[in-house]
Structure 1
Amino acid sequence: MAHKNPLRKDKTCLNCNYVVEQRFCPNCGQENTDTRKTFYHLFVHFFEDLTHYENAFWKTIRNLILKPAALTKEYLSGKRLSYLAPVRLYIFISFVTFFMFNILANEEEQLIKNEAKAGILKDTVKLPEEVWLEEIAKDKRAPKAVVDSLKHYIRQKKEGEIMEQDFMNFGYHSQAEMDSIRQKDPDAINDLEYWINKKSFEVKKRYPASMLPEKFKQSVIQNIPKALFLYMPIFALVLWLFHNKKRWYYFDHGIFTLHYFSFLLLINLIVLLVDSLLSSISSHFLVDAVSGIFALIAYLWMFYYFFPAHHRFFGESRLISFLKSMALLFINMILISFLLVFLFVYSFVNIH
C-alpha cells in the first residue's frame, strides 16, 4: 500500500495559491502535503516510483515484443497507467539503441586507427604476387616476358583494389579536373554531380582513405534517428489512407506507428547486444554461428510481426489484412528507398 504523506494545515496551494479542500488541488492537481520530508518518506517514495516504473517498463517491453498490437489496443482503450506512454517508450528505446550503435562505431574507428598505426592495413601489406615477383626477379634465367606480365597484373590488381577501397570515387581525380571539363563543355557535369564530387574531395582532404568508410558509417548512424522521426508521420499517413477514416483517426495510426517503430528499434538493439556479448566471450566459429542464428530468427520475427499486428489491431479478415499489409510494405519499401538515398547523401555531406 502506498505511504501517504501528511497534509498541510494551510489549505492554500503552494503552486497556484488556490484553496485546497482535499488532498489534491482542484486547479493545478498538486498534492497539498508537507514539502519537508524525512529520509524515510523519501526512501519509500523512491521505492514506490521505482517499483511502479519497473513493473510498467517490463510489462510494456514484454507485450511489445511478444504480443503484436496488444500494447496499442490497450493504450487506445484507456489502460494507460500500466504501460509506458508511446512517445516516452520510443524516445527511451531510440536513445539506448543509437547510443549503443555509436559506442560500437567508435570502438571500430579506434580499432582502424590502431591498425593504421601498426602498419597492418591492406594497402601497406605486400601482395602475394609481389613476393613471388621478387623471387622470380632474383632468378636471372626468368624470361623477361613473364616478369613484365606479372608486373602488369600486379599493377592492375592494385589499381582495382584502390578503386574498390575508395567508395567515394565518382570518376574524377580532383576539383580542378572537373573545373577544366566544365570550362570546355558546361553541360558535361551537371550541378548536382559537381556538388557531390566537390564534397567528396573536401572530405578526402580531412581524412585518410582508410578512415572514410567508418566516418561515413558513423554519420549515417547519427542521422538515422532524424530520418526515422521524419518518416513516422509518413508511415502513419499511409496507414490512414488504407483504412476507414470514420472509424480510425490519424491519432490511432500514430500510436500504432510509435509502437511498431519502437519494436523495430528494440529488436535491432537486442541483436546488437547479443552479438556484442557473444563476440566478447569468444571468436570461435560456433559462437559466431549461434549469434548468426539468433539474428536470423530475430529479423524473421521482425519482418513477420507487421502482419499479425495489422490484423489484430484493425480487426479485418485475414485475407484483406494480408493484402493490405503486402501493399503497405511495398509502398513503404519504395518510400524508404528514397529516404535512404536522402539519408546517405545527407550523411555524406555532413561527415565531421
Structure 2
Amino acid sequence: MSHSPIRKDKTCLNCRHVVEQKFCPNCGQENTDSRKTFHHLFIHFFEDLTHYENAFWRTIKNLLLKPSSLTKEYLSGKRLSYLAPVRLYIFISFVTFLMIAMFPVHVNDEVNESHKSENIKNQASSHTNSLKDDKNVQALLNSESISQEDKKAIENVLSHPKTSDDSLINLGYKSVNQIDSIQKYGPESKKLSAFGYWINRKIQIIKDQNTGREALDKFIESFIHNLPKVLFIIMPFFAFFLWIFHNKKRWYYFDHGIFTLHYFSFLLLIFLILFSVDKIATLLNYGFINFISGCITFIGVIWAFYYFFPAHHRFYGESRILSFTKSIVLFFINSFFILLLLLAFAFYTFINLH
C-alpha cells in the first residue's frame, strides 16, 4: 500500500467521483498525488511486489502441495487471497515461455564435413529407381524434350537400380533429386503416392540440411516451445469430459473449467520447475548436483501423474472407490485424447521444421 500523502482535491482523478477518504468509493483508486519521485517509485515497486507475493506464494504452495484446495476456495468465494485461475495460468505460461526462450535446446551448429560432402555429391548425382522395364526410357533419352541433366539422371538410375519398397516412408533416399526423379521419370508401379512423395521429400530436405542430432534438437525445441499452447487447446475438452462424468445439477461446466485451469496450471508449473532444475544442473555440471536434479525430476514426474487422483477425490467429494474408478477412466480418456492432439501437433512441428 502506498504511503503518499492524500491529495487535497477530493475529486477522483479516474472517475471524478467525490473522495472523502483515501480510496474512491466508486472505482477504488487511491486518491494520492499521481506525480512520484524516483525514490517513491522504487519503494512502491517493492511494496507492490511484497503485496503480490503474499497471494502468489500462498497460491503456489496450495497449487503444488494441496490438490484441489485452490478450486474449492475459489468456488466458495474466497478469491482475494489467491491469484485468479486465468491469471495464474497466464502468469505461469509467461514464465515458462520466458525460460524456454532464455534456455533453448542446444543445437550443434558444427556440421560434419563428410555429411556436407555427401549431400553435395548426392544432390549432383542422379536419382533412384529401376527404369529398365520402362520401354519408353530409350526414346526419352534420344529425345530433345528433357534437359541434359535429366538425361544424365536417368542413365545413372539405369546403372544403379533400386529395388522397390512398399512402405510409406523410405529413409534410403540419397537426395531430393532422387525422389523427384522417381516421381517424374519412373514407371507407374514405382512412383509414390501424393502423400508418400510429399512426406519422403520433406524428410529428405530435413536430412540434407541437418545432421540427425540437429534435426532432433530442432524438433524438441519447437515442440517444447509450443507445449503450453497445446495445453491451452486441450483444456476445454478436458473440462467437457469432467462434465460428462459428474452430476449435471450439482456441477456446472464452469466448476469443471476452474478445476481444469488449476490442474493444468499445476502441470505447467511442474514442467517449469523440472525444466529449470535441469537447466541449472546442466550449467553447474557437478556429479552431486546432477544426482539431486535426477531425484527432483523423478519425484516431480511421479507427483505429476499421481496428482489428479487426490485432486479429483477431494474436489468432487465422492467415495474413494467411485472417485478412483472415475479418475482412472478419465485419466485414460484424456490421455488418449491428449496423445492424439500431441501427435497432431508433433506432425505440425515436423512439417514446419527446416
TM-score range, shorter chain: 0.7 to 0.9
Matched AA of 2:13: L
Matched, 1:293 2:292: no
Task: Give the corresponding residue for 2:85.
Answer: 86
Structure 1 residues 39 and 195, CA gap change in structure 2 (3 angstroms)? same
Closer, same or farther: CA 24–335 of 1 in aligned 2, 3 Å: same
Tell me if 1:247 matches 2:250.
Answer: yes
1:321 to 316, 323, 337: 323
Corresponding residue for residue 30 of structure 2: 31
1:219–1:350 CA contact under 8 A, matched in 2:
no
> Shift of residue 293 of structure 1?
2.9
1:28-66 CA-to-partner distances (Å, cap 9, x unmatched) read: 443333323456654553333121112222111111111
> Conserved in 1, the CA contact under 8 Å of 2:183 and 2:192?
no
- How far the C-alpha of 1:343 sits from its partner, in A, is 0.9
Q: Which of 200, 204, 208 matches 1:197?
A: 200
C-alpha distance in 2 between matches for 1:99 and 1:42: 26
Tell me the SS of whatever aligns to 2:32: coil
Residue of structure 1 in register with 2:184 after alignment: 180
Structure 2 gap segments, 5+ residues each: 119-168
Matches of 1:333 and 1:307 in 2, distance apart? 14
Alignment of 1:222-301 (within 5 A): 222-284=225-287, 287-301=289-303
Q: Is the 8 A contact 2:4 2:32 kept in 1?
A: yes
Partners of 2:181 and 2:227 in 1: how far apart? 34
Note the residue ranges of structure 1 that are not aligned, 5 or more in a row.
125-167
1:113 maps to which of 105, 109, 112 = 109
Equivalent AA in structure 2 for residue 348 of structure 1: F
Percent of matched pairs sharing the same residue: 57
Alignment of 1:77-226 (within 5 A): 77-106=76-105, 108-109=106-107, 112-114=108-110, 116=111, 174=176, 175-177=179-181, 179-180=183-184, 184=188, 189-226=192-229
How far apart are the structure 2 equivalents of 1:273 and 1:262? 16
Which one has the bigger helix percentage? 1
Q: What TM-score comes out, normalization by structure 1 length? A: 0.74
The 2-side partners of 1:47 and 1:100 are apart by 23
How far apart, CA to CA, are the structure 2 residues paired with 1:197 and 1:305? 41
Q: Read off the aligned partner of 1:270 and give its amino acid letter.
A: I
How far apart, in 1, do the equivalents of 2:70 and 2:290 lie?
34
AA at the equivalent of 1:184: E
* 1:66-93 deviation line (CA, Å, top 9, x unaligned): 1111111112222222212222221222
Q: Deviations over 1:232-253 (max 9, x none)?
A: 1111111111111222121211
Check if 1:10 corresponds to 2:9.
yes
Q: 1:327 to 1:21 in 2, by over 3 A?
A: same
Contact 2:235 2:261 (C-alpha < 8 Å) held by counterparts: yes
The one-letter code of the counterpart of 1:216 is F
Q: Structure 1 residues 34, 105: CA separation in 2 closer, same or farther (over 3 Å shift)?
A: closer
Q: Letter of the aligned partner of 1:273 in structure 2?
A: S
2:95 maps to a residue whose letter is V
The structure-2 alpha-carbon separation of the partners of 1:52 and 1:204, relative to structure 1 and needing over 3 Å to count, comes to same
Letter matched to residue 350 of structure 1: N
- Maintained 8 Å contact 1:242/1:324: yes
- TM-score, length-scaled by structure 2: 0.73
SS at match of 2:109: helix
| SS state at 2:104 partner | helix
**Match of residue 352 from structure 2:** 350
- Paired positions, count: 300
Per the alignment, in what secondary structure is the counterpart of residue 105 of structure 1? Answer: coil
Does the 8 Å contact 1:219/1:348 carry over to 2? no
- Cα deviations by residue, 1:199-250 (Å, 9 ceiling, x for unpaired): 3344445445542111112221222122111111111111111111222121
Q: Which residue does the alignment assign to 1:131?
A: none
